[in-house]
Structure formats: C-alpha cells, structure tokens
Amino acid sequence: MLKQETEGVIKYHLNHEFTAANPKWDIVAINTWRTLLYQLKLIGQHADRYMGYGYGNISQRTEGEQFLISGTQTSGIAKLTLENYCLVEATDLASNTLYSSGPCNPSSEALSHASVYQHDKSIQCVIHAHNPDIWHATKDLKLPCIAQGVAYGTPDMAHAINQLFHSGRLKHQSLFTMLGHKDGVFSFGQDFPRAAFTMINTLASARQLK
C-alpha cells in the first residue's frame, strides 16, 4: 500500500529572504509553458485529487546552480505573475538546506529540482507534474523511476535522483517517475519545448497503452 502523503509541505530547511520580485527576472517562457501545463492539468489543484492540495511546479536555470521556481501554494492559480516566482540561490543537499529569495517561498519540491540541475549543466528547465496515466505506465513504458520507499522533497529523494543520473538511465530519456509520490513525474531539458514535449509525448504513449 502506498502511504498517503500530504502535498506541498516543505521538508527541507529553508533560508528565505523575502524581497520584492526582481523586474529583471524573465518569466515569459517559463510562465507561458507553466500556463499550458496547467491547462493540461499536469499542474493544478482539484478538490478530488490529493485531498485538495495543489500539485506540480516548474523551474528554469538562471546562472550557475541558481534557478527560478514557482512558489509554494501556487499550483491552483491559472496564470502566475512575477510575484509567484522566487530565486533558489544555493542548495546544500548534505544539510538539506535551501537558500532562496523573492516575494514567495519556493515550491516544496525545489530540492528535487536542484538535484536535477546539479547533474548536468546543459539542463536548463525542469517540470514536475502529477499524472496518473504516466505514473501507472512506469513499468509498461520502462520509464526510469525512483523507488516507492523514497518520499518527495527529502534528502533521500535528492540522493535517489543522483543515483538515477549515475545509472545512465536518464541519458536517453529525460523523464522519471517517483513511485513513492502518487502520480509524480519529472521531465527536464535544454529548453521548455524539449522538457514539455517529453512529458506530453510520454502522456500520449501512456494513453495508447489502454
């Protein structure tokens, strides 16, 4: 039995400095793709899913290991604004600590985004969605996956993502599911078209199994 988890609870140590949104943040691409993913219900919030908690988030590397990410508790908003994003400035996986700044706290899954960026400098965009079709198709589509015993937003998850990268399984498939996180799936790429296409293409493949 899969343990029911509450979505959206921040499990890492957060050092967040509340500041005004930086007008230099360019959110045109990230926000356009995020709105589209919301319309596809890959990001969102519904009374009958996950006990009504919001799900899914999106990020974009800015420079080095820094990245912009959608804020916590923003999944139910149809169209985000600059106020709904923040900058992750540094992460320390060893101490499970994240340093960020901006008008809102980062997504509860920011640590998982950070571990993806740390693995491959060419990765510029990360999408975390929730979709039952993709998740249930993990075995049939032979999707790379994180084992069931690993909970979202934890150092264990960051380490498991590490291991998945080291296994070489993400070289040819830039997507993985998280079996311990109901319907959870990550995709990534050099840009949003690639990261989003991988997600949507996998969804189409999963639906064709039925």
What residues make contact with Zn ion under the rule CB under 5 A? 184
| Pair 178, 145: CB distance under 8 Å | yes
Taking the least distance from each CB to Zn ion, the nearer of 22 and 49 is: 49
For residue 16, the 8-state DSSP code is E
Q: Taking the complex as a whole, how short is the minimal distance between the CB of residue 75 and Zn ion, in angstroms?
A: 9
C-alpha distances (whole Å) from 209 to each of 137, 182, 186, 206 are 8, 20, 20, 5
Q: How far apart are CA 152 and CA 115, in angstroms?
A: 12
Taking the least distance from each CB to Zn ion, the nearer of 102 and 184 is: 184
Longest dimension (CA), the chain: 48
C-alpha distances (whole Å) from 91 to each of 39, 118, 171 are 31, 10, 24
Q: Taking the complex as a whole, how short is the minimal distance between the CB of residue 184 and Zn ion, in angstroms?
A: 5
Nearest residue to Zn ion by CB is 184
Taking the least distance from each CB to Zn ion, the nearer of 22 and 133 is: 133
Q: Taking the complex as a whole, how short is the minimal distance between the CB of residue 24 and Zn ion, in angstroms?
A: 29
Q: Taking the complex as a whole, how short is the minimal distance between the CB of residue 185 and Zn ion, in angstroms?
A: 9
Taking the least distance from each CB to Zn ion, the nearer of 2 and 28 is: 2
